[in-house]
Amino acid sequence: MATPAIISRPRREAAAARAAVSRARPAATSAALAAADAAALMLAGWAGYFVWSCVNPSLGLEFYFQLAPALAAALAVYASAGLYPGAGLSPVEEMRRIVLGTTAVCLISTAAMFLAKETGAYSRGVFLTSWFFSVALVPAVRALVRRLLARRAWWGVPVLVLGAGRTGRMVVDNLKARPECGLVPVAYLDDDPDKAEQDQGAPVAGPLALAPELARRLKVRQAIVAMPGIGRLELMGVLERLESSFTRLIIVPDMIGMASLWVSPKDLAGVLGLEVRQNLLVPANRWLKRGLDVALALLAGVPALLVIAAAALWIRRASRGPVFYTQEREGRAGARIRVTKLRTMHVDAESLLWKHLAGNAEAREEWQRRFKLRHDPRIIPVIGTLLRRTSLDELPQLWSVLKGEMSLVGPRPLPRYHLDRFDGGFRALRSQAPPGMTGLWQVSARGDGDLGVQEALDSYYIRNWSLWLDLHILARTIRTVLAGKGAY
């Protein structure tokens, strides 16, 4: 029944899908990630051995080679955690699985040493330092490999998208914009024949009834059901027809904009429910976030003071006026806080800005969209540009973090004129989280994001908060600062 349809109407579309599938090789993707993990773990083991040998010079090279069983066990644990190829995993969830898997391997290895009564032949210090380097290096190396390989034709896992409407197109656009996700949309299936004539970003290979045949012919084992508008009974019928053809079905519900991380299914006496946890409202989570803030702020305190002192001397020589700039902004629950930065602008910055905007229509439009200017006349040459490009002008806010007025990660505290451009609902949501020195907006779009992007990213952060998300953003902050993208 399905074969004539594949031969007649969607011949060109099915051929295009087949070509895309033949290029995407999940096994090659898994092999590349496994090789990256092995290299990262070996490097972490060497770094752990080297650091601990500085503490205990009597360590021999044999202590490094004793880490080999743990390396093999880590790769096996990663595989069981679904990290190969790990298609569709968010970076935050991937990091969580890596950290938990690596920690489990280290704990099991340590327990095995004690049970075997061979603790004298091993170095617990090497294990501990190697664990520390592993949880940092493995996610970093995987991210680098994805950045280098994600646009290769063989990268990823092929997936069919059922539904070529607005939701299906959004899914395909997002997956194509982020190939490192690993899901490669090869074709749509949709019962509306008019969809085949439209540019959907992927070929429309035919109606939904072709799914089992197309999955068999193209050897596609995953599908995304992007039809939020259909009724419950119709959706159940679609799933029943597909469950024997695909090993993995991802259903996109009509809940765009709500939390997407840490949503877990619940069996309510035979009824499917989705549990959405408001993590930032849980007192224990707030204390956990506060503990991370204090620990890292204290750790960064001494080097930050040295940088602030050097920058202050440079600012004093380059521009008349105070070294620091303080402005009142809105904190958590609407509280007024004073945010201090190293001064990067001339003391008459306000008049310079309005004079520049008055004579430049393009600059006025840019200011209205982002409240930032690529070519800002207010910036102090060299030192001001350097501090803003590296975000080192924010270092004095570590004191606000220690006082509890701010967090290391959160929505940026914005000036009144910036906040007034957002609606009341978003401002109320924003007030649930403490303002941060860095945030998802800063590491994703930085100065390039307009008001819509700022609202979307801050909303995502607040609704999906977890300690893992904070750690992910802190790690990305380092990369973003070094790259300097979107900073001006």
The CATH number of the domain holding residue 244 is 3.40.50.720
Give the three-state DSSP class for 204. strand
Amino acid, res. 192: D
For residue 355, tell me if it sits in a domain.
no
Contacts for 52-59 with beta carbons within 8 Å, 24 or more apart?
52/123, 52/125, 52/126, 52/128, 52/129, 55/125, 56/123, 56/125, 59/123, 59/126
- The DSSP letter of residue 256 is T
Give me the pLDDT at residue 9, please: 47
CA nearest neighbour of 413 among 401, 402, 385: 401
Same domain, 134 and 250: no
DSSP element (H, E) containing 140: helix 124-149
Give me the pLDDT at residue 3, please: 40
Same domain, 223 and 127: no
Give me the pLDDT at residue 292, please: 93
Phi/psi at 416 (nearest 5 deg)? -55, -45
For residue 367, tell me if it sits in a domain.
no
Same domain, 139 and 48: yes
**Two structure tokens written together for 212:** 């089992």
CA nearest neighbour of 144 among 477, 476, 481: 476
Sign of CA dihedral 293, 423, 337, 319: positive
Whether the Cβ atoms of residue 250 and residue 181 lie closer than 8 Å to each other: no
Domain total in the chain: 3
End position of a domain, from candidates 91, 120, 149: 149
Same domain, 252 and 392: no
For residue 354, tell me if it sits in a domain.
no
Same domain, 431 and 316: yes
Question: At which residue do the structure tokens 């840019």 appear?
Answer: 366
Phi/psi at 61 (nearest 5 deg)? -65, -20
**Which domain covers residue 420, as residue numbers?**
283-344+379-483
CA nearest neighbour of 432 among 225, 280, 245: 280
End position of a domain, from candidates 98, 114, 149: 149
Strands 248-251 and 222-225: parallel
Query: Which stretches of the chain score pLDDT less than 70?
Result: 1-22, 63, 115-123, 196-201, 254-262, 264, 267-271, 275, 445-449, 483-488
**Whether pTM exceeds 0.85:** no
Same domain, 48 and 11: no
Same domain, 160 and 122: no
**Two structure tokens written together for 20:** 């895309």
For residue 96, tell me if it sits in a domain.
yes
Same domain, 124 and 76: yes
**Two structure tokens written together for 213:** 């045949």
Same domain, 139 and 225: no
48 Cβ contact partners less than 8 Å away, ≥ 6 residues apart: 67, 126, 127, 128, 129, 130, 131, 132, 133, 134
For residue 213, tell me if it sits in a domain.
yes
- The DSSP letter of residue 203 is -
Give me the pLDDT at residue 428, please: 86
Distance CA 14, CA 6 (A): 7
Same domain, 86 and 234: no
For residue 356, tell me if it sits in a domain.
no
212 Cβ contact partners less than 8 Å away, ≥ 6 residues apart: 2, 241, 242, 244, 245
Whether the Cβ atoms of residue 408 and residue 349 lie closer than 8 Å to each other: no
For residue 218, tell me if it sits in a domain.
yes
DSSP element (H, E) containing 394: none
Give me the pLDDT at residue 15, please: 59
Burial class (CB in 10 A: 0-12, 13-18, 19+), 100: middle
Strands 263-268 and 271-276: antiparallel
Same domain, 34 and 145: yes
Same domain, 299 and 189: no
- Prior bond to 85 cis, omega within 30? yes
Q: For helices 124-149 and 68-80, give the axis angle rounded to 10 degrees.
A: 50
**Two structure tokens written together for 438:** 């860095």
End position of a domain, from candidates 99, 133, 149: 149
Give me the pLDDT at residue 447, please: 59
